Amino acid sequence: MTRKVLQYASILGMEFSLGDILDLARDILNMDAESIQDRNLIRRALRSAVDEGVLLEMVEDDDTIGESKHTTTQYFIGLDDANSNSSGEDEFVFGDVRYSFFHDSWRRVIVSLMLDSYVQDIHRHAALAIETRAAGTEIQDYRTKIKLFRHWKGSGDTINAGKEALAIGTFFKNLGMNFHSTQLYNESINMWKIHDPPEGEERVAGFSPLVLDALDEANLVTLVKLQTALGQAIGSVYSGDLSPSALAFQNALDVSKTKILFVKHCILDSNIVCL
């Protein structure tokens, strides 16, 4: 169990909560996140990792739960400080337990030892867990939305990742943070650039012709929207040379031209129409 828990944790990032692990254990291992027995099984696995120096354990004081994370007092505790409970009851119901990897090298090594398909599967379950916790309401916290984007991206789901990137980029734009938007849009667009073109063929708008030929309508629309949004964001950031902005718009046009279908969904609020 410790091995599986560490694998889940390595995908969640440098820092994660007990609840995050329980969500993944519920979805992947069909465990009952509300069961005290299953919770303690996960807790013992995490404790083992803390004991081995792989993880650090942090507990939020019960008095501070509900306050802003900027004012929440967190403290490190070792295994010897934790009150044991031989009755089998959950020993840590008094606060939210969080963990972090002692070194990022631990996390990276664990990820490197997993199959790519398994990594993608954990990312997918992590993304679904975030959406399930939102319970159908729109996620307002942009940090959570960035986590959701990273997990959809890690799962290989370009459509959902692109959708989140567009939403986050709009959030940044409304705050005047267009530079952050450009970084996010570029990261998103690169999801379709991971494959090199066949020998003797050149990229089209930065993409392998084989990738563009294989795009379905949903991916094509998402990609063109991202490139158009990138052009807008670059134009808002740079007051001098606007050639990078023009290139982004041109790339959007070139990509859309590779398909016969009319990209009717790519009419943006800016009245820019992708033909």
Mean pLDDT (whole number) for 38-63 = 84
Helix (H) or strand (E) holding 55: strand 55-60
Give per-residue pLDDT as tens, 44-53: 999 999 999 9
Beta strand residue intervals within 69-196, DSSP E: 74-76, 97-101
Dihedral over Cα of 229, 230, 235, 238: its sign = positive
Question: How many CB atoms are located within 10 Å of the residue 107 CB?
Answer: 21
Closest Cα partner for 180 from 228, 234, 226? 234
Give per-residue pLDDT as tens, 255-270: 887 765 444 444 444 4
Longest pairwise C-alpha distance within the chain: 69
Helix (H) or strand (E) holding 248: helix 243-257
Give per-residue pLDDT as tens, 232-253: 998 887 667 778 888 999 988 8
Closest Cα partner for 128 from 162, 88, 157, 85? 157
Tell me the whole-structure pTM to 2 decimals. Answer: 0.78
- 73 falls in which pLDDT band (50, 70, 90)? very low
